Amino acid sequence: MENGQLSHARVRPGGPSPLLLRTVREHRPEAGDISVLKARGTVDASNAADFSTALAGHIGHADETGEQLVLDLTEAYLACSDAVRALERATAFLAVSGRVLPVVEPRPHVRESLRTAGLPGVRVHATMASALNPPEPRPAPAPPGDT
C-alpha cells in the first residue's frame, strides 16, 4: 500500500475511492529532512488495518533515519470509527513518549473526527508550515513572590 500502491479495498463504481499512500521525502533548510506520507482515498473497515500497519512502519522508518514525519490527509476520507482507531493504533507509542504525529490539511469532516476522538498522538495543523515550525512553548509563569 505504501509508495503509490493501492490498498486491498475493492473499487466499486459510486463507492469509496481506493486508498493510496505515497511517501515524499525532501530536505527543507528550516526543518531539515522531512518525510511526508500522503494519503489519498478512503480509509474504511476494509483497509483500516493496512493503513495502520503502513503508517506505523512509516513512523518507525522516520525514527530510524531522524526525519521529521508528517501525515498529509488533504485528499483522504476517514469513513468510519475503524479509520480513526487505525490512526490511534499507529500513533500510540508516540503518545506514550510525549510525541505527536503532525497531520496537515485534513478535510473539515476529518478534522472534526480527529478533534472529537482526541487522539493524544496526533496534532492537526492547517498548513505544512505550521506542522514543520510549531510555535515555541510559552515560558511557565514565575511563582508568586519571585522577581
pLDDT at 5 over 60: no
Asked if 20 and 26 count as a contact pair (C-beta separation under 8 A), the reply is no
pTM of structure: 0.79
Q: What is the CATH number of the domain that holds 74?
A: 3.30.750.24
Asked if 68 and 32 count as a contact pair (C-beta separation under 8 A), the reply is yes
pLDDT at 28: 87
Rounded alpha-carbon distances, angstroms, from residue 108 to 48, 62, 125: 20, 27, 12
pLDDT at 142 over 70: no
pLDDT at 40 over 50: yes
Residue 17 structural domain: 5-132
Asked if 133 and 31 count as a contact pair (C-beta separation under 8 A), the reply is yes
- The answer for 81, left when phi > 0, alpha when psi is -120 to 50, beta otherwise, is alpha
Residue 147, domain member (yes or no): no
CA dist., res. 147 & res. 74, Å (int): 48
Q: For residue 31, what pLDDT band results from cuts at 50, 70 and 90?
A: confident
Residue 146, domain member (yes or no): no
Residue 56, domain member (yes or no): yes
Number of residues in the chain: 147
pLDDT at 9: 43
Residue 110, domain member (yes or no): yes
